[in-house]
Structure 1
Amino acid sequence: MPAQCSSSGMSTTTQRCLSTVPPAARHQLVFSPWYSFNLPPSAAVLFALQASALSSPKQVFARVIMTNTKAHTQSTWELDITLAKAAGIDAFALNMGYTDPYVPTQLAHAFAAAEALGSAFKLFLTFDYTEGGKVWPSSGNISVISYLQQYGNSSAYYMYEDMPFVSAMEGLAEAFDYGQEEVIPNTIGPIYFAADWTSEGMESVFEDGPGLREGLNAFFSWDMWPFGAVNMTDAVDKAWISAISGNAAYMMGVSPWFFHSASGSKDWVWRGDDLWASRWAQTLDIKPNLVEIVSWNDYGVSNYIGPIHSNSEVPAGALIYVEDNP
């Protein structure tokens, strides 16, 4: 998400914005090589990734930016789910900003579609605390609790360790709401909580002392693009894993590209020449139980692997570099 790519207020590991423009690249419908891969890396890498999937089943998610689904119908969601499931993706992470007016309608369409298809493919909620300038309240008519109460019992909701899987994009100041003795789990019951607080640094996973922050079950790092004109490594992943010291699961991010040039000073590009293949290869070294693909449909920053259903769903200014690049 572009909210985590700025020149101030971020840790050094997330200051990755460069003002160069890459050559035009055609996006294709491409998926996790653990199951299928329509933009193939070397045969050796592909074979290794498929073998890993057979020996140690992994959970692979794809992030869906809900504001980019405003023209979706239930049938559109059914198509997206069918494509993702065929590629071996297990669930969509539905990334929602508090002020997004399309969320209520599109959540209803998404869950209706997943339920209609038999719920083998799952959905879970990702509360984005960076989008729209307002944070998610824990309770109220439109809140974390209200949406989990509405959809947490759906047959299509993704469960992990017998708990509803819930994730957050930033929002460290509201983290206490997710603690096991706090308002959210006290109201709806136990949840499996995964958080991305990358911009806050590694100290974000701790409270007042060495103990891991209460209620944190998994940590998701937003560091999945190379830092400047270099190859991406898994060093940052290993550093986060060391920081949480086995007290929480690690959710690894995989992304194919990152390019944004819609307006103002937001001319960003992160090197992605061979990132889609090399980043998946790094998962063989890390061996995470959870992987999230960023993204299914974030057209504005060019890292989508899903189709463009309607030009009206492409953010203003981005159509010039994503049109006819499905």
Structure 2
Amino acid sequence: MFSFRRAPLAALACASCLVDLSAAELKNVFAHYMVGGMSGVDQARSDVQQAKAVGFDAFALNVQNVVDPWSLDSIRWLFDAALENDFKLFFSFDMAVVTNVTTFLPLFKEYQANESYYHHKDLPFVSTFDGAALNFGYESANAGWKAELKDALSNDGITPFFIPDFDDWGGSGYTSDFFSSYDVVDGVFSWETAWPTTDTGSGNVSAVVDEGSQRAAHAASKPYMMPLSTLQFKHITGSGNWYRRGELNLAQRMAQVLAQQPDFVEVITWNDAGESHYIGNVWADSIASSPDIQAYANGYDHSAWQDVIAPFITAYKNGATDVAAITPFGAFAAAFWYRPLLASACCSGDGLGKPSGWENALDAVNFAVLLPEDTEGVTIKVYSGGNVIASVPGVAGLNAQSVPGIQLGAQKVELVKEDGTVLGAGSSTVDVVAETDGTCNFNYQVVHVA
């Protein structure tokens, strides 16, 4: 079973430094949502209803386009669906795509007073992807954001609660120097700490940067929003071809979040097919213009991850600090995932070639199984290519393991009671292969155990 390093007490003790924050609004969990094309409000309604059932409090709407009807229609449908289902939304401006924040302000002004817009401390919440290096023509980025966001909105009587992803500010994590230089922020979010860095090799994800960022944020009396994700695989012509480890990343980050107890959590992502870390629906309209993404996302359903994320959200909101407290709502909750293509594949027919970081990938069956407090005598059996490759005694809470030695063919996980009764099982629908003349796909097949 995987182990995790508990955050030092000093990293957590500074929670007492956090002042003047509404406790009722902290511990909320969001899902990053890429605004893409949809066929209608029914698809927005499906996303909102599913996310609410998992336990999410809001979608962070990543906006890259405020002009074209496909984007504006999708945003309108999402707000309609959120209103129908008592769900919340807020904007996350994608500053890597649109580099002038004033471009987003008309949209923000239009929706910030909407009944379904998420507020913290009675202020409309707004985030970003990147933007710390943008000064908009002012003497500093801080001055630029004050003038172009805070002051511009103040002229209309609007005060946002600004908690951006400013990973690109130039430092490693958020430090006291950051908060001295960027007093425009009301809190901070990190994107990059959700996965192992590209130079980590085969090492696991670390929470060291998160811990330091949270200490610095709390010392400045500001909240820290911690990211939780599964993997990152991108395979697109001209803009990226890489793999960041996803074997046990989800389970390891769950443990780190519980140990650290950040103020907010944002799951990356609900539907970003381009980077493969989606846990919800990927609508055909949203990737219709990208055959590259279609080639590695179509047929790769990740919704089974919701089964284990939902009890995690409950545990986090209840103040649990250990994975033993992530217990299922019923007899069990479980999923397993694997890559159908071995890391050693040459992918001779793929002009992009293997992704950078491929050598860090482990050919394995990975599982996360949640068992109740009174669990006794349950064995987690992992089959690969028709053979048992692991039999793991189950314990209460989160059981997570990456089982190496995956074999060609079908994959299966069973939960077996002492008397031989099968409590639950899941079987793959896509076989593992050693080579392909098609896409060099390092995306995961995620399987429900039911």
Partner of 2:87: 121
Q: Determine whether 1:319 maps to 2:294.
A: yes
- Equivalent-residue separation in structure 2 for 1:150 and 1:125 (angstroms): 12
Provide, for residues 37-67 of structure 1, a one-character-per-residue CA deviation record: whole Å limited to 9, x for no partner: xxxx99xxxxxxxxxxxx997211011111x
Bigger Cα displacement from structure 2, 260-269 vs 196-205: 196-205
Amino acid in the other structure paired with 2:115: S
Alpha-carbon displacement from aligned partner over 1:172-193 (angstroms, at most 9, x marks no partner): 2245455396222332421110
Counterpart residue identity of residue 279, structure 1: R
Partner of 1:124, secondary structure, is strand
Q: 1:245, CA displacement in angstroms?
A: 4.4
The 5 A counterparts of 1:53-72 are 58-66=27-35, 69-72=36-39
Give the SS at the match of 1:237.
Answer: helix
Structure 1 gap ranges (5+):
1-40, 43-54
The residue aligned with 1:225 is 195
Pairwise mapping of residues 202-221 of structure 1 onto structure 2 (< 5 A)? Answer: 202=171, 211=180, 213-221=182-190
Give 1:1-326 correspondences, 5 Å limit.
58-66=27-35, 69-98=36-65, 101=68, 102-117=70-85, 120-131=86-97, 134-138=98-102, 143-172=103-132, 173-174=134-135, 175-176=142-143, 178-179=145-146, 182-202=151-171, 211=180, 213-222=182-191, 223-227=193-197, 228=200, 229-247=202-220, 248-264=222-238, 266-310=240-284, 313=287, 315-326=290-301
Give CA deviations for 1:139-176 in whole Å, capped at 9, x if unaligned: xxxx3321122101111000111100011221222454
8 Å CA contact 2:27, 2:264 repeated in 1: yes
Instruction: Provide the C-alpha distance between the structure 2 equivalents of 1:191 and 1:309, rounded to a whole number of angstroms.
Output: 31
Amino acid paired to 1:259: F
Distance change >3 Å, CA 208–CA 88, structure 1 → 2? closer
Shift of 1:281: 1.0
- For 1:70 and 1:280, the matched residues in 2 are separated by 31
| Identity among equivalent pairs (%) | 28
State the AA in 2 paired with 1:321. Answer: Y
CA RMSD in angstroms comes to 2.8
Q: CA deviation at 1:258?
A: 0.5
Q: Cα–Cα, structure 1 residues 129 and 56, in superposed 2: closer, same or farther, change >3 Å?
A: closer
Higher RCO structure (Cα 8 Å, ≥6 apart)? 1
After superposition, the Cα gap between the structure-2 partners of 1:188 and 1:104, relative to the gap in structure 1 and judged at 3 Å, is farther
Cα distance in structure 2, aligned partners of 1:59 and 1:210: 23
- In structure 1, what is the Cα distance between the partners aligned to 2:265 and 2:213? 14
Opposite residue 241 of structure 1, the aligned amino acid is: Q
1: CA distance between counterparts of 2:189 and 2:267? 11
Q: Deviations over 1:98-144 (max 9, x none)?
A: 46633222111111111122xx210001111102xx41342xxxx33
3-state DSSP of counterpart to 1:94: strand
Cα deviation, residue 216, structure 1: 0.7
In the aligned structure 2, how far is the partner of 1:190 from the partner of 1:88?
28
| C-alpha contact (below 8 Å) 1:62/1:89 kept by paired residues | yes
Give 1:299's aligned amino acid. A
- 1:167·1:195 contact (CA, 8 Å) conserved in 2? yes
Larger Rg: 2
Quickly say closer, same or farther: Cα 1:149–1:99, change in 2 above 3 A.
closer
Which TM-score applies when normalising by structure 2?
Answer: 0.54
Query: Normalised by the size of structure 1, how large is the TM-score?
Result: 0.73
Unaligned runs of 5+ in 2: 3-23, 136-141, 302-450
CA deviation after TM superposition for structure 1 residue 210, in Å: 6.7
Letter in 2 for 1:294: I
Indicate conservation of the 8 Å contact 2:131/2:168, yes or no. no
Q: 1:181 to 1:200 in 2, by over 3 A?
A: closer
CA offsets 1:298-325 (integer angstroms, 9 cap, x no match) = 1011000002232653533011211111
| Aligned residues of 1:61 and 1:93 also touching (Cα < 8 A) | yes
